[in-house]
Structure 1
Amino acid sequence: MPGSVPGSTPGSTKAMGALTLGGLVVVTAYSVALGSNGWLWFGWVVLGLITIGMAATRTT
């Protein structure tokens, strides 16, 4: 939709939440199989913060 703010719809927030949860599963599996990688965890934390921000802006 033109002029809409990304993350303003419940569907896009749910999609980001699913992506964040999927990312956690992937990062955890990678860490178990090949050892922890700080950059992967950092990326997941950033993704989680973006998701939280989207959820916060949607509720206001």
Structure 2
Amino acid sequence: LYESRLKGKLHVISKRYTQRIERHNLNLRQHLARLGRKSLSFSKSVELHDKAIGHYLNIKHYQ
């Protein structure tokens, strides 16, 4: 099904690419753990949540 809709270079199937995506997802979960209520890094301050998320996005996506 996918092969008929995507050209060869657009549809990448490889273990390396899958590992990269999974690593990104793991990093996202770890860095934003403070959003989970039951985690040890949870903060009650909305200001600290905003700063942590802003810092993560700045470091990981804009540099």
Give the TM bin, normalised by the shorter chain.
0.3 to 0.5
Higher helix share: 1
Higher relative contact order (CA 8 A, sep 6+): 1
TM-score, normalised relative to structure 1: 0.42
* Structure label with greater radius of gyration: 2
